[in-house]
Structure 1
Amino acid sequence: MSALTETITTGVQPAYHHHDKDDGFREDQGGEINGHAPAGPLTSGSTAEDRIPSPSASARAAAAAGGGGGGGDYRDSSAATLARGDTATGGGGGGGGWRDEYFVAAAPAGAAAAVPGRRKASVVLGVPTVPRPKGVNYLEQTLQAVLAQVDKQESSTNGTPEGGLAITILVMNVHGPSHDTFYKARDKYAGRRGVIFMSVGEAVDADGAPIVVGEGEPLTPKAQARKKVLPLTKVREQTRDLVYLLRAAAGLADHYLFMEDDMLLCPGGAAAIGRMVSKAHSYHPDWIAIRASFGMNGILIQDKDVLTFASYLEMHQKRRPPDHLVVEWFAGETPASAEFKGNRQHMAFRFNVFQHLGSVSTLRGKISPDYPKCFEELTIQTLFEVEAFDFKGCPDEDMSPCDVPASAKSGFPKIMWRDLYAEEGRRRRS
């Protein structure tokens, strides 16, 4: 039994190695979008900044055994080949050697199908969490918003907008034993299907070894010259927390959704996520990412890419903050990310499906701007242009790009998201 499995089943908390949290992101970011500079190509030549990192040995082993989350057939600079997650042997994933009552990760090939009543989730929501000043409990509000919609969709009839999305939530304590709201939530939802609580230090990889996250590649002289806009220790720490969470979640679901513990899923958000996933697979079946909110939140990737992106974050953590790195990765803005992406399409949902609760950013420690509310449009005032919805090219659509055959669009009647859900979101805020 892994330490994480023991925690899930017994509630006993293993010893935790506490991370030192110190200074935050530098103030002089030099940009107006999310407080950071435009996400243009920053590197050239054959440097550490140009490489898609080689997966870890355990990740390669998991992929070779058919583990999910491989990230596609490609060769990196070391000529290491990572098998696709849809290899003949199939399997549950290379990230976490643990299971809960309903979902199986890093299990032998076919294990999930062999156990009656168990199935892989459509989407796993990865939620890193930290305590807030004065004991403010954002985490409980965040979980309630998701679970209310999970309960609603389970009781709805087939064909309704709420139906058809199997969600599990993976909540990771990245702070340590003093995170009281985390433990209260864990106790409250003990035994709840599809809700998993863990702390850094509890998960193991496909080889049964503890998941380890390194400090990344050293900066090149060119990158060091940009020291005024480099992420400081706190931001690099948060990047490593995301890497750990991704590796723990690999194989748990078909898709991974980045979520923060102070972001409420909007009323109708589960329906929107289900719609955008289905539509993306119809419009561009091998899509690489979907953007449906702002910051390091509301980004969907496929499970086969989870481990590869985790390694990309790990390698480049000293160069850019995670909400920059994710864009340069799925938009192909460096030679290596462009090579990995190939012709795969990143997509954008027209509307914001998460509502920000907090007034202070945990990533940068500054007062947050007035971000879009529930089902308000996501524009270049909030997002980089390269990741934002294409209003000109898709004026009557809720997903872009939309230049696909009519056959791909069949079966997706227009949904007036704002008419259905925006008012409900406003009532919740009041």
Structure 2
Amino acid sequence: MKHGCRSCRSRVHPIVYLSFFVMSLMLVQYYVKSCVIIPTPNEPQTSTHFQPVGYKAGGASHFQKLLPKDASTDTTTEYLVNEKANHTSKEKVLPPMLLEGPDKFITWNKSTWSENTVLFGRSRNITGYLTIGIPVVKRKREGNRYIYATLSSLISATTASEKEDIVVVVYMSDSDKAWNMETSQQINERFSGYIGAGFLQIIHSPLNIYPELGKNANFNRDSKSRTAWRSKQNIDYAFLMWYSKQLSKYYLQIEDDVISSRRFFGDVQNFIKRNSAIPWVVLEFSRMGFIGKLFCSDVLPRFSTYLLSMFNVLPCDLLLTNFRTLHNQASPIFHRKGLFQHIGKISSLRGKISPWTDTAFKDPVDQSSFDIHWDNPVAEIDSNMDAVRGSFPENAYHKTKNKSLFYAVKNVKTNDFYKVVFSNPINISRVVVSTGHPVLRTGVLKRGQVKVGKGPGGSGDRCRPDQVVGSLYEGEFDSEIQEYYIPPNVKCISVVALCNVTKPVIIRKIGVNIQT
């Protein structure tokens, strides 16, 4: 019996038809207004699993009929460009990438894939059991080292025999091609043995697969920069899935800033077997975004096309929810424990910090192992917060061998503060504040500000922090990642509460680096 991915025989809920009708109507209106034609995959479908209502395997020919008789597939780009020049209305025609996208991915044969796409690695002669796809993008500072932790985790968590059933595809998807090449070379040098064995492949793509990013249908009301970021993410995922669709029986998507649990591969296999008696389109091994989503590989062409057709409408995780619902899987199917943990606080979206973790992760994680070096110059610590007995403010700032120490307070009142006063004014390059439990995210100071001061205040105050640097986001603050300006000659830093908190709060870490 083929595990999972069977045709759904269950009675379809009316809401599925309603959702499909609304989405179809929205897509038709969007395509007509944009003058964009999206072909469906023209290769033969090897499976009939989860065929949505109205789906036709030969759909590409239907869209081709919409072109003029003299417009062949090879000249559709030129045709659309000419049409754009003749278009007199104010509404612009979208770039022709959406027409070329899936078609371009499909028509590349195996040798062309190898020549144009693979930077390092080789294909195996047999189909594997599991492909793990990892899109990689450039991040600030130590964020670029996340991918090494991710790969090391996958390698250490699998046995030699398991590695023969797994292919890890690292997709260098940043727009900075020089960085892609440099980083891929570093990965190749560090993991050369696994690349030579066919366990690890590194690929990239040409920049011309991307249309103009930042435009959307205003369904999610995101900013232009965020829309461009998530739109590119959808296209990246589609490209990675098209490449991976024939490597293994199953495909698992993770991110470049996660670590895996021990023996995750066996857990994945067992979960697939346990769900073999029910129809499914996606199994989930994490409750975070698009991390740990598993598909049958024969579903990848259809889902990739869906991502491309809706690339600028919604984020990938919401598109996955729609896709799953339209394919008769009404609810997500989660593994009881998370098998992949998010470790990266530095988001690939500029100016964003991402402190999220999977609270259901299977294994304990020492988050301090991912900390960077802090200067933390000599300073006096002062706080008016109501501390838990035996907990001291110095625990969050002073360096000790016990990295698990923190400052715990019973509750917090508005304008309560935690202050660091330096011996002499210093020039600071970076300030980091972390509150709450690093995994469970309890004890977080959600509403707070970081202030700095340059001189003494009234009533004998050694330093009065009177200049706001920025705000905490979900209990975290990083001046460099969030792009906050820190003035020169700082005498003191203060973390100030902006509201009452009746529950205990943890001030876990205060990090300060000095300009060199």
Identify the TM-score tier after normalising by the shorter chain: 0.5 to 0.7
Alpha-carbon deviations, 1:116-157, whole Å to 9, x = none? x8321111011111123235411111111112233x252xxx
Work out whether 1:199 is the aligned partner of 2:204. yes
Q: Is the 8 A contact 1:236 1:321 kept in 2?
A: yes
Cα separation, 1, equivalents of 2:19 and 2:350: 23
The equivalent of 2:260 in structure 1 is 265
Q: Deviations over 1:352-393 (max 9, x none)?
A: 1112121122257522234225x53xxxxxxxxxxxxxxxxx
Query: Counterpart in 2 of 1:348?
Result: 334
Residues 96 and 79 of structure 1: is their aligned pair in 2 closer, same or farther, counting only changes over 3 Å? closer
Alpha-carbon contact 1:95-1:307 (below 8 Å) kept: no
Identity of aligned residues (%): 17
Match of 2:293 in 1: 299
Q: Is the 8 A contact 2:139 2:348 kept in 1?
A: no
RCO greater where, 1 or 2, for CA within 8 Å and sep 6 or more? Answer: 1
How far apart are 1:268 and its partner, in Å? 2.5
Provide the C-alpha distance between the structure 1 equivalents of 2:298 and 2:126, rounded to a whole number of angstroms.
17
Q: Which amino acid counterpart does residue 205 of structure 2 have in structure 1?
A: V
Q: TM-score, normalised by structure 2?
A: 0.47
Correspondence 1:361 to 2:347:
yes
**In the alignment, is residue 178 of structure 1 matched against residue 179 of structure 2?**
yes
Look at both structures and tell me which one has the larger radius of gyration over its CA atoms: 2
Corresponding position of 1:400: none
Q: Cα gap change, 1:96/1:270 in structure 2, threshold over 3 Å: closer, same or farther?
A: farther
Unaligned runs of 5+ in 1: 1-39, 83-92, 104-114, 155-162, 203-210, 333-337, 377-417
1:283 matches 2:291: no
Could you state the TM-score of these two structures normalised by the residue count of structure 1? 0.56
Question: In structure 2, which of residues 145, 169, 178 is the aligned counterpart of residue 137 of structure 1?
Answer: 145
Q: 1:3-402 maps to which residues of 2 (within 5 A)?
A: 43=22, 46-48=25-27, 56=39, 59-60=41-42, 62-63=43-44, 72=51, 75-76=54-55, 80=59, 97-98=109-110, 118-134=125-141, 136-150=144-158, 152=159, 154=161, 166-175=165-174, 176-179=177-180, 180-188=182-190, 189=192, 190-201=195-206, 212=209, 223-224=217-218, 227-228=221-222, 232-280=227-275, 282-284=276-278, 286-293=279-286, 294-330=288-324, 332=325, 338=326, 341-342=327-328, 346-363=332-349, 365-373=351-359, 375-376=360-361
> Any idea what SS the aligned residue of 1:348 has?
coil
Is this contact kept in 2: 1:214–1:314, CA < 8 A? no
**1:128 maps to amino acid:** P
User: What value does the CA root-mean-square deviation take over the aligned residues?
Assistant: 4.3
Q: Which runs of 5+ in 2 are unaligned?
A: 1-17, 62-104, 115-122, 371-403, 405-516
Equivalent residue letter for 1:167: I
**Aligned-residue offset at 1:72:** 4.7
Equivalent position SS for 2:232: helix
Deviations 1:47-99 (A, max 9, x none): 30799999746x32x326x5x899758643897289xxxxxxxxxx9686337
Structure number with the higher strand fraction is 2
**Number of positions where the alignment pairs a residue of Structure 1 with one of Structure 2:** 288
How many Å separate the matches in 1 of 2:164 and 2:48?
20
